[in-house]
Amino acid sequence: MIAAADLSPAYDLIVIGGGPAGLAAASLAARAGLSTVLFDENPGVGGQIYRGITSTPVKNGTVLGEDYWAGAALASEAKASGASIVNGATVWTLDPSLAVGISIAGKARLVQAGRVIIATGALERPFPIPGWTLPGVMTAGAAQTTLKAQGLVPSGRTVLAGCGPLLWLLAAQLLRAGVKIEAMLETSSRRNWLRALPHLPDFLLSPYWRKGLGLMREVKAAVPVIPVQKLAATGAGKLKEVVYVSGGSERRLLADLLLLHHGVVPNVNLAMAAGAAHRWNERQLCFVPELDDDFGSSVPGIAIAGDGAGIAGGTAAAERGRIAAIAAVRALKPEASVPAPQVVRQKLAREEMGRAFLDVIYRPSDSFRRPEGDTIVCRCEEVTAQQVRATADMGCEGPNQMKAFLRSGMGPCQGRLCGLTVTELIAEQRRVSPAEVGYYRLRPPVKPITLAELASLPIGEAERKAVER
């Protein structure tokens, strides 16, 4: 275990995030001779997709599937590469001078980088339905995380709802682990099919479609899959029933656990707080960073690889990490030998191929992204859709002004679970595009840090400069 005090004051490359992009980037850079450190917040490497890859108690290989186990090679490569890999390390600031503020076991440090690769990946898109804050309602990703890392599986009446590849994958994994799933409530609109057709040829050439069809078949054989147009969780103090509307009639399902998912979006907090420019992506319905061919952001020296650069999945993430790392090596140590970038780019292009089809076919319906009435939008401050809409109608033009009125986005999650919803609601009320409305302005610290942690910073010249501005 590496402690804050063991860190060097400076590294050639600092990689933030230990998923496929971060692991691949750190391995490549360290092998090429850059002094490299990888910071990851979780107890072990792997990110979300390869969560618990070095420690999972789920030894039966078929439960999680071969795509999961592919992560083991990345993890062991990174370990052997000479990069320092630090888990339990929370990055709370990154500034344009490439000073990285890190906190490990309650002790904070500022570390200087020659280059930074942000590989903080994705998080699940907010899914604001009535009752989504009740205990018993979780994200599908959460259930997958605890299956991978701790071997925990749902034990009561379990309902899955939403859309997207991860929901099917989770359903299949739970079934293989012996879990009974009461129903899978499918929220994507049938109309998406027509819009997705132009992207079908590419999809058929991609590795996704065979796997996808197989998973869907596996799940449909064991679970009723019901198309739904409305969805709510109800119960007093915890989930009791899932209420849905299918084909015009309302139905109720007793449930102990409701797992929600309708896609993932880039986790933009650190990149935005570092000043990287982002723009609205209408196909993926989220903000993505503006990047060059090497995944360099608008801030010199900071690259953003993996799903944080726009959603493309785990295997694409690793290739993106490699491309960003090659650029870092070329900038800092031009004489070092690195893999040929064209080869990596070709692999990446293949991995990204079926994405457009998936984005369109699983585009979450408007009604599941833009709630109404007293459905909670901001979980932390318990702000409702009605409040956001009414405040927008009063003339509040953007999410930052909204903070002053409603405190939305000002709780501990710093807008991670409400940012896109608030932007889209304001856009709908003002009848403008989300691009025009923009996103929360994010500032460091991007994770809460205590005064005690700040006080543990050793005070030197560099540190003084980093905080006085």
Q: For residues 89 and 304, which CB has a smaller minimum distance to another protein in the complex?
A: 89
For the bound state, the minimum distance from the C-beta of residue 343 to another protein, rounded and expressed in Å, comes to: 32
Distance between CA atoms of residues 18 and 39, nearest Å: 7
Q: Residue 326 and residue 315: Cα distance in Å, rounded?
A: 17
Tokens of 233: 């969780």
Residue in this structure with the two tokens 């888990």, named with its chain if needed: 87
Member of 5, 6, 9, 43 binding another protein (CB under 8 A): 43
Q: Is 382 in the site for another protein (CB under 8 A)?
A: yes
CB closer to another protein, 152 vs 243: 152
Backbone angles phi, psi at 307, to 5 degrees: -65, -20
Closer to another protein at the Cβ: 152 or 331?
152
Q: Which stretch binds another protein (CB under 8 A): 181-189, 213-221, 406-414, 425-433?
A: 406-414
Residue 237 to residue 100: CA distance in whole angstroms: 41
- Would you say 420 and 409 are in contact if contact means Cβ atoms under 8 Å apart? no
- Residue 227 near another protein by CB under 8 A: no
Shortest Å distance, C-beta 113 to another protein: 22
145 burial (CB, 10 Å; 0-12 / 13-18 / 19+) is: middle
Separation of alpha carbons 314 and 351, rounded Å: 9
40 Cα distance to chain centroid: 14
Tokens of 133: 């804050």
Residue 36 pairs in a beta bridge with: 13
Residue 177 in contact with another protein, rule: CB under 8 A: yes
Is residue 238 part of the contact set for another protein (CB under 8 A)?
yes
E strand or H helix that includes residue 227: strand 225-227
Minimal distance, residue 151 CB to another protein, in Å: 4
Q: Which stretch binds another protein (CB under 8 A): 64-72, 202-210, 301-309, 411-419?
A: 411-419
Nearer residue to another protein within complex by CB, 27 or 139? 139
Query: 13, 184, 417, 466: which one contacts another protein (CB under 8 A)?
Result: 417
- Alpha-carbon distance of 268 to 17, in angstroms, equals 13
Stated length of the chain: 469
For the bound state, the minimum distance from the C-beta of residue 411 to another protein, rounded and expressed in Å, comes to 7
Q: How far is the CB of 245 from another protein (least distance, A)?
A: 24
Interface with another protein, residue 214, by CB under 8 A: no
Cα(172)–Cα(201) distance, integer angstroms: 26
Tell me phi and psi for residue 35, to 5 degrees.
Answer: -75, 120
Integer Cα distance of 356 and 358 in angstroms: 5
Under rule CB under 8 A, residue 401 binds another protein: no
Listed ranges 40-48, 201-209, 289-297, 364-372: which one lies at the site for another protein (CB under 8 A) = 40-48
Q: Under 8 Å CB-to-CB from 301, ≥6 apart: which residues?
A: 98, 113, 114, 115, 116
Q: Does 61 engage in binding with another protein (CB under 8 A)? A: no
Instruction: Based on the shown chain and the rule CB under 8 A, indicate whether residue 455 belongs to the binding site for another protein.
Output: no
Minimum distance, C-beta of residue 383 to another protein, in the bound complex (Å): 9
Q: Which of these, 85, 77, 86, lies nearest to 31 by C-alpha position?
A: 77
Residue 145 contacts another protein per CB under 8 A: yes
Question: How far apart are the C-alpha atoms of 354 and 360, rounded to whole Å?
Answer: 11
Query: Considering only residues 153, 200, 232, 243, which one is a binding residue for another protein as defined by CB under 8 A?
Result: 153
The Cα 47–Cα 119 span in angstroms is: 9
**Position 97 contacts another protein (CB under 8 A):** no
For another protein, which stretch binds (CB under 8 A), given 64-72, 345-353, 376-384, 425-433? Answer: 376-384
Out of 9, 156, 224, 300, name the contact with another protein by CB under 8 A: 156
**Is residue 391 close enough to count as binding another protein by CB under 8 A?**
no
Check binding of 411 to another protein (CB under 8 A): yes
Residue 139 lies near another protein (rule: CB under 8 A):
yes
What minimum distance in Å lies between the beta carbon of 180 and another protein? 12
Tell me if 49 sits within 8 A of 4, measured CB to CB: no
Tokens of residue 114, six digits: 């020659």
- Token couple for 424: 């889209």
- Write the interaction track for another protein spanning residues 69-88; mark x where CB under 8 A is met and - where it is not: -------------------x
Interface contacts to another protein, rule CB under 8 A: 41-43, 48, 52, 55, 57-58, 88, 90, 106, 123-124, 133, 135-139, 141-142, 145-147, 149-156, 177, 237-238, 256-257, 267, 379-382, 411-413, 416-417, 448, 450-451
